[in-house]
Amino acid sequence: MHRAAENDLERLGDEIAELSAHLDAATARLLELIRDFDRREGWGNGFLSCAHWLSWRVGLDLGAARERVRVARALGGLPLLAEALARGELSYSKIRALTRVATPETEARLLEVGRAGTAAHVEKIVRAWRKVDRQIEAETAEARHQGRSLQVYTDDDGMVVVRGRLSPEAGAVLTRALEAAREALYARARPGGFNSGEPDPPTSGQQRADALALVAETALEHGLDAAPESERYQVVVHVDAPVLADPDQSGQSALEDGIHVPAETSRRLACGATRVVMSHGADGAVLDVGRRTRTIPPALRRVLQARDQGCRFPGCGLRHAQAHHIHHWANGGLTRLENLALLCRRHHRAVHEEGYRIERDSDGALHFSTPRGWAVPEVPATPMVPPDPMEAILAANRARDVAIDGWTSCPNWLGERLDLGWAIDVLHPAANSGMGRTTGRSC
C-alpha cells in the first residue's frame, strides 16, 4: 500500500474517532437535559415515567429509554464520570457499564478503569464487580436470616414483654400491619381519636401495643389461611346513581368504611366493576338489594384484550390494563366493544380524575387530549434538524470548550492480557474484608 493511501486511511480513522468522541460529548449534554427534565417531572403530562415519555417523544425503544434515564440519574451523583463523558474521554458504552456499580467513593478508581481499558475490559470488570456485590448481598441476607429472633416472656409485674429482631421484609410487613391496626383503632373506629373514657390520649407506644393485640386477635378470628384472591382485594364503593351519571351532582360517594372519595374516582372504579343496585326508603333503610351484575362479561373482556393489547394511551402500551367506558354506562353508554378501551391504572385515573379526554371517531381511531384540550398524538412529529446536524454538534461542543481530537477517547491499553481476579482484588472496596473473595486470576 502506498504511503499516501496509508495516510488517507489514518486520517479517515482519526475522523471516525474524533466524531465518535464528539457524539459522546453531545450525549453527555443530552443526559444532563434528561436528568433535569426527569427531576422536574416534565413527563408528568399523562405519561407513566420519563422513559415512557422518551419512548413516545424521541422514538427510543422503551428498554433503551429506561437505560438513558438510569444513566442520567446516576451521573448526577458521579461528577468525575460525568465530566469524562462530557469531554469525550469515555464512551457512552463505558459510562453505561460503570454507572451500574460506581458510587461517589469508587468512581475515581473506576474512572481509571475506563481510561485504561477497552469497552470489553470495562464490561468484564463490571460483571465481576457485580458478582462480588451479589455475593456480599447474599452473605448479608443470610446473616440477617440467621439473626432473626423473637422472645415473649412475662415480666415480674405480670406484663408480657416482646423483644425481637426481624428481617427487613418481615419487619416491613409487621410495620404496615401495625399502622393499619392503629389507624383502625384510633383514626376510624373512635371519632375522638381515642377512647373518651381515658383521661389522656394513649402514647404512640401504647397505640402500637393495642395495634399488636388487634393484629393477633384478627389473625385468630379469621384464621391463617389466605382468603381467595378475588375477596382479598375487593374494594366496595357506595355511590348514588345520580353521582355516577353526573359528577357535579351532590350525593354519597364513599368506600365501604365511610371514607369519602371524589365522584370521578367512583366513576373510574365503576368502569369495569361488578355492581349491585340497592333501593332505599325515605329514612335511608335498604328496601331491596338487586343481584350482582358484571359490567363487562368475560368473553367481551377477552376480545377487548386481544384488540387493544394493553393500555391505549399514547406512549404507554402497559399490558396490565383496565377496561374503560368511553361513554360511561351511567350516562347511557353501552358495554360494547366500540365503546370500550383498555387503560392502565395510571391513565385510567388521568382520564377520570385529571381531566384527560378520550374519543373514538367514526373510523374507530382513538384520540386523546390533555386537560387544556391539546391533542396527544400517537407518534409526535419529527423535530426540525439543521442541514448539517454533525456540524451543529461540533459547534455546540466547541462552544462548551470541549477539545476533542482523534485520540481523546483512545484507551491506555497496550495489548496486555486482562488479569480480572487481580483487578477486582485491587479495585473492589470489599476485596480485603474477606467478603465476596474472588477466585481465578485471569480471563
Identify the pLDDT of residue 47: 86
CA dihedral 145, 146, 148, 152 (to 10 degrees): 150
Helix 119-146 vs helix 107-116: angle between axes, to the nearest 10 degrees? 150
User: CA 333, 339, 343 angle in degrees (round to 5)?
Assistant: 115
At 158, the amino acid letter reads: G
**CA of 407: how far to CAs of 14, 115, 410, in Å?**
7, 12, 5
Helix then strand count (H, E) for the chain reads: 16, 13
**What residues contact 54, with CB distance under 8 A and at least 6 apart?**
34, 43, 60, 65, 68, 69
CB atoms closer than 10 angstroms to residue 255? 16
C-alpha cell read off for 257: 368504611
Report the Cα 416 to chain-centroid distance in Å.
42
Q: Considering all CA atoms of the chain, what is the largest pairwise distance in Å, rounded to the nearest integer? A: 104
Nearest CA among 61, 51, 56 for reference residue 314? 56
Tens digits of per-residue pLDDT, 186-201? 765 444 444 444 556 7
Low-confidence ranges of the chain (pLDDT < 50): 189-197, 226-233, 286-289, 438-443
CA distance 42 to 17: 35
In this structure, the number of other CB atoms found within 10 A of the CB of residue 184 comes to 16
CB-based contact 35:73 (threshold 8 Å): yes
